[in-house]
Amino acid sequence: MARYKPYDVNQVTLIPVSFPDQIVPGSFEYALNEIVEEHIDLRAFEARYQNDETGCLAYDPAILLKIVLFGYYKGLVSSRRLAEACERNVQFKALTADTQPHFTTIADFVATMHQEIAGVFRDVLIYADALGLIGKETFAIDGCKLPSNASKEWSGTHDELKNKQHKYEAAAKKIVARHRGRDAKEKLSPMAEQDNKKLATYKSKIEKIKSFLKSNCKNMGPSGNERKSNITDPESAKMSTGHGVIQGYNGVAVVDEKHQIIVNAQAYGEGQEAHLLQPMLESTREGLKAAKISRDVFEQAKVTADAGYHSGASVTYTQDNSIDAYIADRNHRQRDPAFSDYDRYKTRSRQEKRHFYGRDTDRFTAKDFVYDEKDRSCRCPAGNWLYRNGSNINIHGFLAVKFRGAKSVCGQCILRQRCLKTPETTETKQVTIFIGRSEESKDSPIEKMRRKFDTLFGRFIYNKRIAIVEPVFGNLKNKGMDRFTLRGKQKVNTQWQLFSLVHNIEKLATVGAV
């Protein structure tokens, strides 16, 4: 019979631990420890405390900042998990000198540091610039939409929330009516108990909606239309992402090309990004000026942004302020020779979707109508001539010619079902052929941006964008910083800047060799 060495899982062993040996040079924790202790001015946190003569001793902000940043780096965003790590993890103990704050202390520190976070972020940028990690030549701006601590269930316009309230009230009335119709024996049954719980839930939801509608105005967007509000977190927004619709915030970052240092990070409770370009560029300029990194960084630097930031106001702002920007429009791929067959795949995708949803059709499109540019005439797919009923029409800066079929021809045409969307109510076919841009639009800010973007150099600069900013967001999400755990724009903005600090400190540790 085999013999084994004895063991006892209940034994106690004392292991000597040297805290300095746990912080290895070249690691993230080593860079974090040096930066917090030597390169960040934490005197701004002293205004929080008034215990210089009486009161309990407070936790040093340096310790709390290390806990939060190192925890985020390890994917620990919850304050409870951070507090547990301070009790169990040797690296946390080494960084904090075996300090073990309560999770409420950590949560309060993060939730209330919105005034101090700007100084911390600026000090890290100053140190990164001193190490030569900020090139100040090309910046890429983009947003990362992350869910927040709010439920999509409680989103809607004021009218939609009122309708939801009416539905809950109707459901509550049915339960009350059912309760009254029960006899004494049935009122003690499990079904009656379940109904009572549902009734209490409906009443709570009704009061929640009433209170919100009474104390909050409509959430109006930049275009003047009402946007959906959220009862749980009114400053968050319902936004579409590649993984579906979320309730959250858009973390926007301005990233330097040289070593992907985030020079500006702001969170917005808005899914639309076009109007965010101007405030992001202005805050970047002011932030780098306050840090004495650059007097006006956009005098020489280039800026790239994707089509989400393209609008007349954004393009005009960059041109009026002499900012060398390269902003893509929504049709930039159609004009790129590298994507010459782009429309072919787009058409195939639309056909596949129609087939999947059972909406297959062989209806004619404008491409099926033959336009003669010399005679400015048009022939329909059936071979009949259309008469011109509008020339040189200006449609949003584009010149167009309109054609319409004759009633005597269209009314008896055998292709009528394929030509008209509603042949039962539409008499004749009308076609609009676009022939070019108007003279006024050729000198518009958008057209100037398009011509600048379509140059070989413009495409070269813009193609850098995805390699500058997208890996930054991938790095944050891979570390577990893929959602906001707080509510309110102020707190979420603080957390987004903490996420960005983790990325910047990691760059200092790897590239800057801190």
CATH code, domain carrying 250: 3.30.420
Looking at the domain assignment, is residue 350 inside a domain?
no
Looking at the domain assignment, is residue 370 inside a domain?
yes
Q: Do residues 254 and 294 both lie within one domain?
A: yes
Q: Do residues 263 and 322 both lie within one domain?
A: yes
- Helix (H), strand (E) counts: the chain: 19, 15
Backbone angles phi, psi at 24, to 5 degrees: -85, 130
Looking at the domain assignment, is residue 358 inside a domain?
no
Q: Token pair for residue 151?
A: 């439920």
Q: Do residues 145 and 246 both lie within one domain?
A: yes
Looking at the domain assignment, is residue 52 inside a domain?
yes
Looking at the domain assignment, is residue 352 inside a domain?
no
Q: Do residues 69 and 206 both lie within one domain?
A: no
- The structure's pTM equals 0.81
pLDDT the model gives residue 464: 93
Q: Do residues 145 and 244 both lie within one domain?
A: yes
pLDDT the model gives residue 278: 94
**What domain count does the chain have?**
4
Asked whether 508 and 127 are in contact (CB, 8 A), the reply is yes
Q: Do residues 268 and 319 both lie within one domain?
A: yes
Gap between the Cα atoms of 90 and 12, Å rounded = 18
- Tell me which residue range forms the domain holding 196: 158-217
Tell how strand 398-404 and strand 430-437 pair up: antiparallel
At 492, the amino acid letter reads V
pLDDT the model gives residue 335: 79
pLDDT the model gives residue 359: 54
pLDDT the model gives residue 206: 87
Q: Do residues 328 and 411 both lie within one domain?
A: no
Those residues of the chain that have pLDDT short of 70 are 181-189, 339-347, 350-351, 354-361, 439-442, 513-514
pLDDT the model gives residue 343: 64
Looking at the domain assignment, is residue 133 inside a domain?
no
Q: Which residues contact 125 (CB under 8 A, 6 or more apart)?
A: 134, 261, 263, 287, 288, 291, 293, 504
Q: Do residues 206 and 264 both lie within one domain?
A: no
Q: Do residues 41 and 82 both lie within one domain?
A: yes
Q: Do residues 98 and 35 both lie within one domain?
A: yes
Q: Do residues 24 and 58 both lie within one domain?
A: yes
pLDDT the model gives residue 56: 85
Looking at the domain assignment, is residue 447 inside a domain?
no
Q: Do residues 405 and 488 both lie within one domain?
A: no
pLDDT the model gives residue 199: 82
Looking at the domain assignment, is residue 390 inside a domain?
yes
**10-48 residue pLDDT tens:** 988 888 888 888 899 989 999 999 999 999 999 899 888
